[in-house]
């Protein structure tokens, strides 16, 4: 496939009141259909912010940076980002204070908290405050990239009104599941689990992925909650034309493939 080159403008200073924001852009080599994302990095540590921004630019994204809550609000009002990477310890307040404002003013924005406050209580508090994901410092850039890509996929996935594999169809608008035309009733968490498996139909999904994306945990709570829900879902599918479609891949995770079921 032939690559398409897109040349972005030179770095530009965007004025947000008296808060100058540096929008960093560079030449990107893009494949057809590739869409770059605008990511706002809210981080007051200049050296760390530069590392994050450069890493995101290297991955093909357009980035802007804010050093405070005030700058972050100004930046979002000037140009709505797709994802916000948010520190908590900011000069003018707790970073989590930005989340309810974003939910009111820019509800489609995804929020990834990146903070040195990385205890279990801190992570749970951030997720309960409305963050879509939470990553502790120090962090690895490949993991940050992976989490950002996962957040972007949630947006893309949300635009699919129906999901299916073989005779198994999930209507996300009506929240209705049919197998071979027959209705299948699931409890709310079972529905979310099946929806997630269908989004990754034919792929192996790990326990860590399920905990993060279905339960919203960035840690293992040390319970068998996944096993219990998988067992219940498998039992309900076993009574339908999709019997045998949900497979446990030993040491790796789970895979749903109803095409051959």
pLDDT tens readout for residues 177-234: 999 889 999 999 999 999 989 888 888 888 888 988 888 776 677 788 999 999 999 9
Q: Which residues of 215-252 are buried (b: 16+ CB within 10 A; e: fewer)?
A: bebbeeeeeebbeebbeebbebbeebbbeebbeeeeee
- Report how far Cα 164 is from the mean position of its chain's Cα atoms: 22
Q: Is 189 exposed, middle or buried (0-12, 13-18, 19+ CB in 10 A)?
A: middle
User: If DSSP codes are grouped into helix, strand and coil, which group holds residue 254?
Assistant: strand
Minimum mean pLDDT among 28-37, 66-75, 210-219: which range? Answer: 28-37
Phi then psi dihedrals of residue 118, to 5 deg = -120, 15
Residue whose structure tokens are 């707790």: 94
Q: Judge whether residue 1 has pLDDT over 70.
A: no
Query: What's the mean pLDDT in 247-255?
Result: 91
CATH C-level class of 162-256 = mainly alpha
pLDDT score for 49: 95
The two three-digit tokens of residue 260, written as one number: 């051959």
Residues 15 and 29: beta-carbon distance below 8 Å:
no
Q: How far apart are CA 228 and CA 251, in angstroms?
A: 17
Query: What's the mean pLDDT in 30-52?
Result: 76
pLDDT score for 21: 39
What is the residue-averaged pLDDT of the chain?
A: 81
Residue whose structure tokens are 């009574």: 239
Work out the angle between the directed axes of helices 69-78 and 98-105 (0-180°, nearest 10): 10
Q: Judge whether residue 254 has pLDDT over 80.
A: yes
pLDDT score for 91: 97
In terms of CATH, what superfamily is 4-158?
Answer: Response regulator (3.40.50.2300)
User: If DSSP codes are grouped into helix, strand and coil, which group holds residue 165?
Assistant: strand
Q: Judge whether residue 18 has pLDDT over 50.
A: no
Q: Judge whether residue 40 has pLDDT over 60.
A: yes
Work out the angle between the directed axes of helices 188-199 and 225-238 (0-180°, nearest 10): 80
Question: How big is the chain, counted in residues?
Answer: 261
Query: What's the mean pLDDT in 163-167?
Result: 82
For the chain, domain boundaries: 4-158, 162-256
Residue 14 is classified by DSSP as E
Specify the pTM: 0.54
Q: Which residues of 67-93 are buried (b: 16+ CB within 10 A; e: fewer)?
A: bbbbbbbbbbeeeebbbbbbbbebeee
Residue whose structure tokens are 């080599």: 29
């Amino acid at each position: 496939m032939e690559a398409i080159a897109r040349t972005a403008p030179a770095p530009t200073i965007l004025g947000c009141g008296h808060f100058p924001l540096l929008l960093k852009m560079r030449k990107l080599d893009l494949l057809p259909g590739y869409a770059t994302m605008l990511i706002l990095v809210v981080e007051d540590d200049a050296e760390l912010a530069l590392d994050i921004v450069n890493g995101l630019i290297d991955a093909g994204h357009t980035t802007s940076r804010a050093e405070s809550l005030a700058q972050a609000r100004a930046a979002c009002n000037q140009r709505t980002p797709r994802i916000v990477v948010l520190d908590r310890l900011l000069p003018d307040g707790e970073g989590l204070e930005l989340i309810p404002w974003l939910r009111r003013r820019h509800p489609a924005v995804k929020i990834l908290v990146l903070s040195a406050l990385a205890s279990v209580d801190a992570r749970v508090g951030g997720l309960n405050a409305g963050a879509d994901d939470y990553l502790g410092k120090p962090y690895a850039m490949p993991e940050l990239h992976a989490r950002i890509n996962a957040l972007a996929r949630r947006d893309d996935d949300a635009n699919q009104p129906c999901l299916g594999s073989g005779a198994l169809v999930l209507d996300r608008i009506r929240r209705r599941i049919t197998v071979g035309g027959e209705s299948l009733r699931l409890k709310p968490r079972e529905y979310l689990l099946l929806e997630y498996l269908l989004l990754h139909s034919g792929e192996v999904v790990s326990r860590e992925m399920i905990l993060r994306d279905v339960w919203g945990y960035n840690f293992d709570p040390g319970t068998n909650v996944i096993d219990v829900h998988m067992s219940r879902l498998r039992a309900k599918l076993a009574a339908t034309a999709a019997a045998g479609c949900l497979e446990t891949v030993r040491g790796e995770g789970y895979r749903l493939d109803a095409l051959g079921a």
